[in-house]
Chain A
Amino acid sequence: MRTTSTRGATTGRVVALATVAALLVPVLGACGTSGPPGASSTVRADVPADARTEQIAEVEFARQCSVGTQSFPKESDIDADLAKRLTTAGLSHLEWKQWHDSLAVSPQLVTQLAEVGKRGCPKA
């Protein structure tokens, strides 16, 4: 009886630990999806605003002005529209991407974008 009872207690602990483990694995797994520390290093924090970022902000703001009134035959045409604007301004897609990704952690860029926006939408 004692043995049985002890076995029951042990079984209870095993079940409990298994439950903990089962619950922990997906939680830790979810944390793990963010990847190794270096994986998010492409996002630059506190990027200072300068003439180059102002150029990018101008391109993005102008795009935001017109995109709501445009329709594109193909999905890829939306990317092509951005590419054309960037090329015209002498900017690369990588520059735009790094700028965009840095917005969330670079208050200066957000302020600069707001300043660019105060000038209003460019005339078509």
Chain B
Amino acid sequence: MHRHHHRTGTSVAVAVLTAALLFVAGPAFAIAPAGADKSNARAVTTTTAPLSPGQSGWVSVVWTSDQTVSGWSTTVTAPKGVTVTYPTTRGGADTSLYGSDTLVGTTKDFTSFKLKVPYTQTTSFQVVLTSRYSVGVGNDANGNGNGNGGNNGNGNGNSGAFTTTATVTVPVQAATGPAFTPQTPSLSIKAGSSGFERIAFAGGQTDLADFSVRLGELPAGLEVAYPGDRASAGLNGDQTLVGGSADYVGVRFIATDLKPGTYTIPVLISYTAASPQTRTASLTLNVS
């Protein structure tokens, strides 16, 4: 009797547990997708924008689907040596769609990710995108750029979590144009002054690592110094002059004994592209 009572208590507890779980969790407690994926979510893009050896850039792949899908998450697999970076807005582990993580049926949206192509990669390559999403399930939108959508599913009886993959070609083309362009042809300072001045550079198509600048032969009465008392000045933002971006170095001009006039000063620029390089530009210094 006592043991029977004990079993009854346990049975009741288990029944309560089961009922509570089914009531609260409902369909979300389902273990497996109900059926096949009828969304036909697919990539529209077969070839991304071209990149050059040594270039890094954000490229995009456009997606569409026949039915609304949500909770979109894409990861990218690239060949060895090619680095993939995901948007910071997602935490860096994956990418989603731009507008939100919901792809409304028959519309398009795109995923973006950054590829860094090594200088040794001189031919086109393929990346494989694996996208995971849910069909017929409500979501909290959380896309790449402006996630604030959310939907309640399409109620078409086609629910569950699914995956689609797409193989996309990334064309690799030789870089064109200069490696970089000096943006500060001249500077004006006061005789007797001492202060930092900015010397700017615009990146070319590819990334230039270990970008540093020092000035060559100086006119009598002028001394220069670099941040941190180093032998040269590094970029303000990063050690790399990113292709398509601009940055600057800071150089302290100590013109305590410099007479007014116009001086031409060589600017020695060092960086690493496919190999270490050195270039010389010139700076016109106007001293008043």
Contacts and interface: CB of A to CB of B under 8 A. Distances in A.
Contacts of B55: 71
B104 interface: yes
A75 B25 contact: no
Contacts, number: 138
Given A12-B10, A73-B57, A19 B17 contact: yes
A104 B104 contact: yes
A97 B146 CA distance: 7
Contacts of A79: 145
A13 B2 contact: no
Contact of B20 (A1, A24, A77): A24
Contact of A13 (B9, B58, B61, B88): B9
Contacts of B106: 110, 114
Contacts of A88: none
A78 B140 contact: no
Contacts of B17: 16, 19-20, 23
A112 B244 CA distance: 36
Contacts of A70: 49, 59-60
Contacts of A20: 16-17, 20-21
Interface residues of B, number: 59
Contact of B99 (A9, A16, A19, A100): A100
A77 B9 CA distance: 64
B266 interface: no
A5 B245 contact: no
Nearest to B56: A73
B21 A23 contact: yes
Interface stretch (B147-155, B177-185, B256-264): B147-155
Contact of B13 (A17, A23, A40, A114): A17
Contacts of A95: none
Nearest to A74: B245
Contacts of A12: 6, 9-10, 13
B62 A5 contact: no
B2 A104 contact: no
B110 interface: yes
Interface in A60-108: 64, 67-75, 77-79, 82, 97, 100-101, 103-105
B16 A110 contact: no
A47 interface: no
Contacts of B6: 5, 8-9, 12
A15 B9 CA distance: 11
Given A9-B5, A12-B13, A104 B59 contact: no
A16 B146 contact: no
Contacts of A1: 2
A103 B140 CA distance: 15
A28 interface: yes
B146 A2 contact: no
A27 interface: yes
B25 A27 contact: yes
Interface string B123-166: 00000000000000000110001101111000000000000000
A59 interface: no
Contacts of B3: 5
Given A9-B5, A27-B25, A71-B51, A64 B149 contact: no
Interface of A: 1-2, 5-6, 8-10, 12-13, 15-17, 19-20, 23-24, 27-28, 33-34, 40, 42-43, 64, 67-75, 77-79, 82, 97, 100-101, 103-105, 110, 113-114
5 contacts: A2-B2, A5-B3, A20-B21, A68-B47, A70-B60
